[in-house]
């Protein structure tokens, strides 16, 4: 049997209940907030010898979890892939079937089961801060909503050939076997920074450069130095999105693969979706993704609160702008609120290679055999043709559009207003 406070490695100290909360002699009421929302309990939190206890159901619900079983004083709960089992009056607790020991047991008060607050919150992936009888709980999803993203959703949906740190453009140089190059925003000082070929899914986060090559995921400094292998996918195309401290990626042997996430150092791998994911868009602490290009789902970045938003014969090229989703639905262009409401068609064009920049949505028009480059204004819905060339791999950096002209198999650049 392990003790939280003494034997567990640092990564598991989150389940310790030996906190430094105010002592039980402090008669002030305790205020608890989750992501800045004040929680109103029907049985008030108590402080017992430095450990704060709260009604379990209130916190589980607010943190996006579910109580899955309640029998013979044993309670099981689940959030994403995390399961926790505990018992009233018992210091024994199981997290993902691994047994640990608490320093204070859950208790029954006025018909409510109260559990140690820090244990419950941190076991479900939240962080806890206590100050002046006010306990603030924040979830990883809140942090992720503010986290730096490594590239735009539209660029990554188009293969992530181009990315920028606002000083340099990093790109897959199609004139040199897709090797990794960089150049100034004005196109000057072009230079090779890696011999890795046919690079893709370029992400730039915290002075680190992430990219795929030869079915492998690499991380390096922005000048190409300190290159390290993070993941060997082994086979096939794999989506990669870096947001904050996490990498979201697909991996498997089929065309559409399960979705995972791991830390940017390659640790803490977690399965988020076991079915075949055909596109992903990480935004605002949520993941919008399609399964088999037929079902559109949303979940929090930790895998919790999974919900189906839409189903059809063809759903793909999902992008996000503010509180709206933009995507190809049954070979026409649609928008919808991120909660799944207000599904609206905005164009009959079979828009693919979608990429959103400002008030414009850029796309290849597959309604035409030639697949020409268009854009549509998301405010007044006016449409403009930008190029007669067959357009693939559509990337946007500021006012620059880069795309593969399939007619001559070379990358073209267009400057737009």
pLDDT digits (tens, 9 = 90+) for 272-294: 999 999 999 999 889 999 999 99
Percent of the chain with pLDDT over 90: 59
One domain for residues 355 and 292: yes
**Average pLDDT of the residues in 348-363:** 96
Residue 11, pLDDT > 70, answer no
317 contacts 330 by C-beta, under 8 angstroms: no
Residues 257-272: b if buried by 16+ CB within 10 A, e if exposed? bbbbbbebeeeeeeeb
User: Per-residue confidence at 144, pLDDT binned at 50, 70, 90?
Assistant: low
**Average pLDDT of the residues in 48-75:** 87
Residue 176, pLDDT > 70, answer yes
In degrees, rounded to 5, the angle at the alpha carbon of residue 108 between the alpha carbons of residues 107 and 112 is 125
**Average pLDDT of the residues in 103-109:** 88
Task: State the CATH number of the domain containing residue 155.
Answer: 2.120.10.30
Task: State the CATH number of the domain containing residue 56.
Answer: 3.30.457.10
Average pLDDT, whole number, for the chain? 87
Q: Would residue 237 count as lying in a domain?
A: yes
One domain for residues 163 and 263: yes
Rounded CA separation 238/191 (Å)? 27
Q: How many Cα atoms sit within 13 Å of 296 on the Cβ side?
A: 28
Q: Which domain holds residue 62?
A: 10-139
One domain for residues 200 and 77: no
Q: Which of 139, 166, 185 is the last residue of a domain?
A: 139
In eight-state DSSP terms, residue 3 is B
342 Cβ contact partners less than 8 Å away, ≥ 6 residues apart: 335, 336
Q: Would residue 3 count as lying in a domain?
A: no
One domain for residues 118 and 194: no
Q: Would residue 219 count as lying in a domain?
A: yes
One domain for residues 382 and 401: yes
408 Cβ contact partners less than 8 Å away, ≥ 6 residues apart: none
Q: Would residue 29 count as lying in a domain?
A: yes
Residue 17, pLDDT > 60, answer no
One domain for residues 230 and 126: no
One domain for residues 132 and 162: no
Note the residue count of the chain: 417
Q: Would residue 333 count as lying in a domain?
A: yes
One domain for residues 18 and 161: no
CA dihedral 135→140→145→150, nearest 10 degrees, is: 140
Q: Would residue 5 count as lying in a domain?
A: no
Q: Would residue 174 count as lying in a domain?
A: yes
- pLDDT (0 to 100) of residue 79: 79
One domain for residues 69 and 134: yes
In degrees, rounded to 5, the angle at the alpha carbon of residue 62 between the alpha carbons of residues 40 and 128 is 90
One domain for residues 134 and 190: no
* Structural domain count, the chain: 2
Q: Would residue 350 count as lying in a domain?
A: yes
One domain for residues 253 and 394: yes
Rounded CA separation 232/151 (Å)? 21
One domain for residues 409 and 305: yes
- pLDDT (0 to 100) of residue 126: 79
Q: Which of 139, 170, 198 is the last residue of a domain?
A: 139
Q: Which of 118, 139, 160 is the last residue of a domain?
A: 139
Residue 16, pLDDT > 90, answer no
């Amino acid at each position: 049997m392990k003790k939280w406070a003494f034997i567990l490695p640092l990564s598991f100290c989150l389940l310790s209940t030996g906190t430094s909360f105010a002592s039980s002699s402090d008669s002030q009421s305790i205020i608890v907030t989750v992501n800045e929302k004040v929680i109103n309990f029907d049985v008030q939190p108590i402080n017992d010898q430095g450990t704060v206890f709260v009604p379990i159901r209130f916190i589980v619900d607010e943190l996006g979890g579910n109580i899955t079983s309640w029998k013979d004083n044993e309670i099981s709960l689940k959030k994403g892939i995390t399961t926790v089992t505990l018992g009233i009056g018992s210091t024994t607790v199981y997290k993902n079937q691994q047994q640990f020991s608490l320093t204070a047991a859950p208790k029954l008060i006025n018909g409510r089961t109260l559990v140690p607050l820090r244990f419950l919150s941190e076991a479900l992936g939240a962080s806890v801060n206590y100050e002046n009888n006010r306990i603030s709980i924040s979830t990883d999803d809140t942090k992720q909503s503010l986290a730096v993203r490594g590239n735009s959703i539209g660029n990554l949906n188009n293969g992530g050939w181009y990315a920028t740190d606002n000083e340099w453009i990093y790109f897959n140089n199609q004139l040199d076997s897709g090797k990794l190059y960089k150049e100034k925003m004005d196109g000057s000082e072009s230079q090779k920074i890696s011999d890795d070929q046919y690079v893709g899914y370029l992400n730039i986060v915290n002075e680190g450069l992430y990219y795929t090559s030869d079915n492998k995921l690499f991380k390096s400094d922005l000048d190409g130095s300190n290159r390290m292998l993070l993941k060997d996918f082994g086979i096939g195309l794999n989506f990669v999105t870096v947001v904050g401290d996490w990498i979201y990626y697909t991996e498997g042997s089929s065309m559409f693969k399960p979705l995972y996430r791991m830390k940017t150092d390659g640790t803490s791998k977690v399965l988020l979706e076991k079915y075949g994911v055909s596109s992903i868009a990480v935004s605002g602490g949520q993941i919008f993704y399609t399964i088999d290009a037929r079902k559109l789902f949303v979940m929090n970045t930790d895998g919790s609160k999974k919900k189906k938003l839409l189903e059809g014969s063809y759903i793909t090229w999902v992008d996000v702008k503010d509180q709206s989703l933009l995507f190809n639905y049954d070979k026409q262009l649609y928008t919808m609120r991120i909660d799944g409401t207000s599904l609206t068609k905005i164009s009959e064009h079979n828009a693919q290679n979608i990429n959103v920049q400002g008030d414009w949505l850029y796309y290849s028009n597959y309604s035409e055999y030639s697949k020409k480059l268009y854009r549509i204004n998301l405010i007044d819905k006016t449409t403009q043709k930008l190029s007669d060339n067959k357009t693939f791999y559509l990337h946007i950096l500021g006012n620059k559009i880069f795309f593969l002209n399939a007619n001559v198999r070379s990358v073209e650049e267009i400057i737009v207003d």
